[in-house]
Chains A and B, each alone.
Chain A
Amino acid sequence: MTINEIQNELVEDFAFFTDWMEKYEYIIQLGKEVPLIDEQYKTEEYIIKGCQSKVWLYPEVKDGKVFFTADSDAIITKGLVSLMVKVLSGHTAKEIVDADLYFVDEIGLKEHLSPTRANGLLSMIKQMKLYAVALQVNA
């Protein structure tokens, strides 16, 4: 699936939820499905700055595509990083760099995009794109 196809699917999934509680329960559930970062990479180097909770994100290239693994010590944040991994992982660096992540707004998580927001969703997106840029240059 393309990045946009995944985004559209998520938008459909979230449309089912009638209240915030269901939405957050789903986000928490998604957190449990995140491809977990190997313990050896849970270091300062792979921490995303700008989060009130700790988020670790590790990128690697397989067959010309970028794959992310991640973890967080807060479970809502873990759900948010899981969402981002779901959308961006397994695509080429160029696709990741060019991605327009409209789904965040459409599923009602726009409030999490504010630059001062403590969960750092914006920092996650920025970091994932930065990794992609770096890998693109190296490729």
Chain B
Amino acid sequence: MEKYNIDKIRADFPILKRQVNGKPLVYLDNGATTQKPNAVINSIAHYYTDMNSNVHRGVHYLSQISTDAFEVTRKKLQSFINAPEDKQVIITKGTTDSINLVATCYGRAFIHAGDEIIISAMEHHSNIVPWQMLCDEKGCKIRVIPMNDKGELDMDAYQNLINERTKLVAVTYVSNALGTINPVKEIISIAHKHGAVVLVDAAQAVQHIRVDVQDLDVDFLVFSGHKMYGPTGVGVLYGKEELLNAMPPYQGGGDMIKEVTFEKTTYNELPFKFEAGTPNIEAGICLNEAIDYINSIGLKNIEAYEHELLEYALEKLSEIPGMKFIGTADQKCSVISFIIEGTHPYDVGVILDKLGIAVRTGHHCAQPVMDRFGIPGTIRASLALYNTKEEIDILVAGIQRAVNMLV
């Protein structure tokens, strides 16, 4: 591994210097959202200071430069996930919006009564509820791939679930609650043998590992900007061109039309067909800086560094009496979910907060996962490229202090 300059990286994130409850902030809630580097923060100010104008509309100078900048992000996203063409990158509000778009547009057109949708037992609510809503509307059925006690999907069960009625498989690349990295390439290949399309939720993946949509041969891939060091309110739907073309539009409005009369409207081409209305322009433009930032460090380096941190954290945390990890998959990202015998996750979270340590407690929008393990929730420490071993030590000491108070 090349020299990973953690001091320089931390200096790029101004919020990491602040104190919380009189203690230096230890931010370990990166699965919920990541902090932003100066490059992203400054570019937001720069956008409003120098460029603010609506995109894809005006002939005037500002509109042209903001449109160009917005489209630069699309190109950057295209190469970030190795999409064949930039028009296959639909810019949305975020992962949830992207999934709802597919459930609404693809689902309404191509999924019918009696059809089946396969999801996994470790999905985030946003990759469950849109499919349930579709099933309620159309009379189709959801089947669920179970997982083992380590939090790994049961691939044999998946093979048994899939059949000619399966029209779509929607799975997460990396579990937000468990950290499991799923074998999505294999899941996709099996689905394709049965004629089903696959949506992969990469919200917890793209900031940690290299994602290549062509290598995966994935039909739809979705993720959010704010979990990859970019602004909130922007996300991506990647889709295969023939599927996107075959789908009806999502919302009606400006930008998504070619021609409108009161009798009939013809729709714009990709990607604009799915981008009705004024988008979150500054988020779209400034996401470009976040991708540049990730690229400047290199996903390979990030992956190696985070893996080292994860190993260190697992080793140190396992020394705490009563520690029980939830999600111990062989293939795992830097998401650590755990409970401590005799304590409630909420109580531990409150004490850690008082010590300046930000973790998430609760069900992590994945209640079925908690039900699977028979627990009300977990404490989750999710690591990012700027976390350090010292912060892990502070977390471990904080948990010990909490346990002393609570047990």
Residues of A within 8 A of B (CB): 20-21, 24-25, 28, 52-54, 73-77, 118-119
Question: Does A52 contact B405, Cβ atoms closer than 8 Å?
Answer: no
Closest A residue to B401 by CB, please name it: A21
> With A and B bound together, what is the CA distance between A53 and B350 in angstroms?
12
Q: Say whether A75 contacts B347, CB under 8 Å.
A: yes
User: Which of A21, A25, A28, A74 contacts B346 (CB under 8 A)?
Assistant: A74
Would you list the 5 A-B pairs with minimal beta carbon distance, nearest first?
A: A74-B344, A74-B346, A53-B346, A52-B346, A76-B347
Most buried by A among B350, B362, B376, B405: B350
Q: Does B314 contact A (CB under 8 A)?
A: no
The interface residues of chain A lying within 8 Å CB-to-CB of B95 are none
Complexed CA–CA distance, A47 and B275 (Å): 43
Assuming the contacts A54-B376, A74-B347, asked whether A21 and B405 have C-beta atoms less than 8 A apart, the reply is: yes
CA distance A54 to B350 in the complex (A): 15
Q: Is the CB of A75 within 8 A of B344?
A: yes
B350-A24 in contact (CB<8A) = yes
CA distance A54 to B351 in the complex (A): 18
Query: Are A24 and B405 within 8 A (Cβ)?
Result: yes
Residues of A within 8 A of B405 (CB): 21, 24-25, 28
A73 and B354 within 8 A (CB): no
Q: Are B344 and A73 in contact (CB under 8 A)?
A: yes
B33 contacts A by Cβ under 8 Å: no
Q: Is the CB of B361 within 8 A of A52?
A: yes
Q: Please report the C-alpha to C-alpha distance between residue A31 and residue B344 in the assembled complex, in whole angstroms.
A: 14
Q: State in angstroms the CA–CA spacing of A74 and B344 once bound together.
A: 5
Within 8 A of A (CB), among B358-381: 361-362, 376-377
Q: Is B15 an interface residue when CB atoms closer than 8 A count as contact?
A: no
CB pairs A–B below 8 angstroms (30 shown) = A20-B21, A20-B354, A21-B354, A24-B350, A24-B354, A25-B405, A28-B405, A28-B406, A52-B345, A52-B361, A52-B377, A53-B346, A53-B347, A53-B376, A54-B376, A73-B344, A73-B376, A74-B347, A75-B344, A75-B406, A76-B346, A77-B344, A77-B346, A77-B347, A118-B346, A118-B349, A118-B361, A118-B362, A119-B346, A119-B350
Residues of A within 8 A of B362 (CB): 52, 118
Residues of chain B with a CB closer than 8 A to A54's CB: 376
Q: Which of the four size classes fits the interface of chain B?
A: 10 to 19
Chain A residue nearest to B377 (CB atoms) is A52
Task: List residues of chain B with CB within 8 A of the CB of A74.
Answer: 344, 346-347
**Complex contacts, B344 vs chain A, CB 8 Å:** 53, 73-75, 77
**Which of B21, B344, B351, B377 neighbours the largest number of chain A CB atoms within 10 Å of its CB?**
B344
Residues of B contacting A25 in the complex (Cβ-Cβ under 8 angstroms): 405
- Min CB–CB distance B381 → chain A (angstroms): 17
**How far is A28 from B361 in the complex, measured between Cα atoms in Å?**
19
Closest to B21 in A: A20
CB distance from A94 to the nearest CB of B (A): 33
In the complex, A98 Cα to B351 Cα: how many Å?
Answer: 33
Known: A20-B354, A28-B406, A118-B349. 17 other contacts (CB 8 A): A21-B405, A24-B351, A24-B354, A28-B405, A52-B361, A52-B362, A52-B377, A53-B344, A53-B346, A53-B347, A53-B376, A54-B376, A75-B347, A75-B406, A76-B346, A118-B346, A119-B346
The distance in angstroms between the C-alpha atoms of A24 and B349, with both chains bound, is: 13
**Whole-angstrom CA separation of A118 from B345 in the bound complex:** 11
Closest B residue to A23 by CB, please name it.
Answer: B354
Please encode chain B, from 324 to 363, with 1 for each CB lying within 8 Å of some chain A CB and 0 for all others: 0000000000000000000011110111001000000110
Q: Report Cα–Cα, A25/B354, bound state, in Å.
A: 13
Among residues of A, the one whose C-beta sits closest to the C-beta of B406 is: A75
